[in-house]
Structures are given as structure tokens and as C-alpha cells.
Structure 1
Amino acid sequence: MPDLTFDAIGTAWTITTDEPLSGQQRDDVADLVAGYDRTYSRFRRDSVIAPLAQEAGTVQLPPSAVPLLRLFDTLHRLTGGAVNPLVGHSLEKLGYDAAYSFSSSGPSAAPDWTLTAGWRQAEDGTQLSTTAPVTFDIGAAGKGQLVDLVFGLLRAAGHRNLTVDAGSDLRHAGERGLRVALEHPYDATRAIGVVPLRNRALCASAANRRAWGEGLHHIVDAGTGRPVEAVAATWVLAEDAMTADGLATALFFTDPDLLAEEFAFDYVRMFSDGRATYSDAMAGVLFS
């Protein structure tokens, strides 16, 4: 049975452990999730990154920003700019803005990540600087990182058999593995296969999630400002959820063989026409 369920950062969370969480551990999870939201949310006027949408400047981010921004640097390079943490600009133009207007003014490319922003590791965290107003959005990998942070907190507290599930992003530890259904992107009552998960992370991304109009959804090519069309859904197994989450996004834009040159992962990628490609280790998970 789940030990803790809650809603945060726009999704439902379920944490399952063998031993019940203490009251302090529950408070620590709540504080961690709330702090992450206060740092990175583009939907909050009081978040740490909010001032960057108004004017160029520098903000101080926590130490956890270092691996996150390193991942974005790599994915930006491997996808030719399609994965870009400044994609919030494009999402806003399409109507997925802080007011949830869902009123599109048309596609607009995001500012170039390497030309408009820069970061450096400081003694007390990470400094992110921009040369123009930008809308920072870490949706491509941020939820996965938060899963990892919650997972790490509870592992440090002594939980050895543990699953952290944030919507479509999971991380598992323990002797007893899980069997996770891959939800069909066009029919939530069906699955296209079942993946065994043990001591790894599984993250998914689909165009049907957070959709608000014909052809309008949250998976956007930052280089063009347009939602993707050719790929419908992706699933990635990796050692940690941040990597799996980022790669699940990158697979909408990039050949998996290119990503495999720098990352160790397994995947399933389903196209809009119903075709699917997958890595060798995932060959037996799909239904015929």
C-alpha cells in the first residue's frame, strides 16, 4: 500500500515503502518538494527564477542545479537546440502561460540557451545569468530530478525498499521489482506493453499530456517554437530519473543512437502513425 500520496508540481505523487514514513520524514518530503517549486516554477511570481522573465540578471540556485544544468547543456547540444531550458518563452506564446490562458499567438522560437544564458558553480550553489529577459522552464528534466531528490532523502533516512512515483516518472529500489504498464498515448485505458522495473528509473513523455487545443501540447521544439508531431510518446529506463526524464524528452527530436553515444539507457519510442522503435533490452516488453 502507498505510504504517502499528495499532489505537487502539477502531478500526483505516490511514495511506497516497506516501513511507514515518520512524521518528520513526511515533513522533510513536503519541504523538499515545496522548496523545489519555489526555486524553479515559472507559474509563481515569487519563485527564484521569476525575476529573469522581467529583465536580464543573475539568480542564485541550489547546488542541485549543477547536474540539472549540465544535463541541459548536453541535451541542447545533442538535439540541435530543440531541448532548451528557455523554452518557456515558446510555451507562453502557444498559450501555456502562467495564467493558463491556453490562447495561442502562434509559434515562436526560444532564445538560444548558449547565447542568452550562462551558469557557473559557486561555493554556495549555482549562479545563473542571462543577457535578456527569459522564461526559464525545466520541464524536460526537472520532475525527474525532483523524484531523485525525494528518493535520495528517503534512502538516506534508511528506506531500502522504495518507489517514488510522480505521474509518469518513477524510481525504484529493492529486492522486489515492479511491472509497469506503458500507457497508450491515444487511449488511457490501454497499454502498449509492460516494463519490468527494479533498481532503476522509468520516465515517460507523451504528447497527449498537457494538451489544450488542436496540435497544441507541452512538448515543443525550442528551435522552432512548434509542438512536435512525428513522435507520440517515449519511455526511458536509466539509472536515475533526471537522466531518464531528459532523454524521454530528447527522443522526440533526436535519434536514440546519437544519445546512446553519451548516455546508458533503454527506450521505447512510439510514432504518431503507430509504429514503435525500441532498444534491444526492451524487445520483449511490447504487446504484439
Structure 2
Amino acid sequence: MDAGPPTPQGRAAALSRRWRLTPWLFLAPALLPGAIFYLLPVLVSVLLSLAEWDALTPPRWVGWSNYAYLLGVDPLFQRTLGNTFIFAVGSAALGVPLALAIAWAMQGARLQPFWRVVHWLPMVTNAVAIAYAWRFVLDPADGILNHLLGIAGLEGPEWLGSPATAMLSVVLVAGWTSLGQNILLFSIGLGQVDSRLWDAARLDGAGPLRMFWSITLPMLRPTLLFTTITSLINGLGSFALILLLTGGGPAGSTDVTALYFYRMAFEHLRMGRASAAATVLFLLIMVLTLIQLRLLRRGGLDGW
């Protein structure tokens, strides 16, 4: 029996379904590689964290044993977790205020395109080149930093060779590496501040520090929040720089969680335990990301 031509309502419904599908078709070229190369490895890692596997024999299901060992028994993992937080917080505490101060000081400076290129160089330079350049700077015998300290009559320490200064040294390098990106973000944020606010405050007799504290800093709250959270996230996942600078030493003083599960997987062939450590770190980073998204949606720290 002939159903007859489609009704206007039927044509509208079919067109609506087609329009709902169209955006996903355009997004597919970007979503498919992301699903294959990011989402799938994460799911495999989570599954492996619930098993024992040495990459040579079939995996053996052990449930939550790997997590119980890491969080309740293994002092090495707990120490690396502490070092990871120290490194992440230290690099953010150093890099974010310094980037804000430089961006504030360079407002209205000439040759802005040139300075933006200079600021961006650490972000596009290979981590190996950065590590070897800084190893030369921090070398206790021939390094530039100790040479300058010697001119001032001070004895320079073994920056990367002493447990007392190794973490400080890698924090300094990490803060320098992220400095350019944060300067650019703060420069963009400062460009969005209405200059009439500064003019009005200047007419009322406010000095530069007062204007910065009462006008600039509140207006930069979203940028400040974004740079702080992203710096913490980058610090939690840092791996290559520490591996190249200290390898986790000396005496484990710079041993972080990313190095822990790297060695656990490729030196000890404990893939399940390494996957569990990676999952713990992934969850910590995800929590920070969710906090950032919540704060940004609500307008900054005041909206928490």
C-alpha cells in the first residue's frame, strides 16, 4: 500500500536529524585521531592497571592490588608523589608571578612583535636542547651561574649534583621554560583592561602599585587562574626535562611520578603497576582540570 508523499512534518524531522548529524561529520577528522591515539591508550592503561603483565606473558587479573601496593605499601611511589607536588607547585609559584611582573613592566614597550618571538622561544625549543643548555649554565666547575657567584665572592653549589639544590634547580628551569607562554597570556590579558580605569585612578592620585593591586590584578583574575592551573598541570606531568637534567637523582631528590612509572614499565617490566601509577597521576590532573573549568565558568575565584 502506497504511503503517499511525506508530510511537511516528516520532511522537517528528517531535515532536523540531518542537521544534527552534520556537525559530527565535520568534527570526525579531529575526533577520530583523538579517540584512537588518546582515549584508547587511556582505557588500555586503566585496564592494565588492574592486572599484572611483564609484556612477555599474558596479563593476569589482580584487581585493585596494584593501587593498594602503591598507595599503602610502596614508599618510593609516595615519595615521588610528594616530589611531583613540590615540583609542580614550585614551578607555578616561580613562573606565574615572574611572568606577570615582566608582562606588566613591558606594557607599551617598543618592538612588541620582537619581544613576543623572544618570549615564545623556550616553548618551541626542544627539551633536549634546553636541558643541555641549562646543564652548562648550572655546571659546578665551568657553569656561568657559579662563575658569576665567584665574581661576587660566593661559592656556588653543585646545583644538579646535590640533594639540597637539585629540586630547586629543576624548578628554576621549568619555570623559565613556561615563562614565555605565561608572559604572552598576561600581555593579552593586560591588553583587555580598559585604560580609562587606569586614567581615572591616576587622576585620583593612585600610584603604580595601587593601580596594579586594585585594578589590574582583579581584571586579570581569569588569566591568573588559567596560567596557574595550567602550570600546575604541566608540572604534575613533567617528565623529559627532569629525566635529562637529573634522571631523578641525586638520591631520589628529583624523582617524580612520571619517572617512577617510566622505570617501572621499561626497566622492571611491571606494566600493571606502572599503569596504576599513571592512572593515579591522570586522576590528579583531571581533578585540577575540572576545578579550572568550574572556576572559569563561574567567573574566577569569586564564583567558586
Tell me the TM-score range normalised by the shorter chain. Answer: under 0.3
Q: Which has the higher helix share?
A: 2
Give the TM-score normalised by structure 2.
Answer: 0.22
Give the TM-score normalised by structure 1.
Answer: 0.23
Which of structures 1 and 2 has the larger relative contact order (alpha carbons within 8 angstroms, sep 6+)?
2
Q: Which has the higher strand share?
A: 1
> For the pair shown, which has the larger CA radius of gyration, 1 or 2?
2
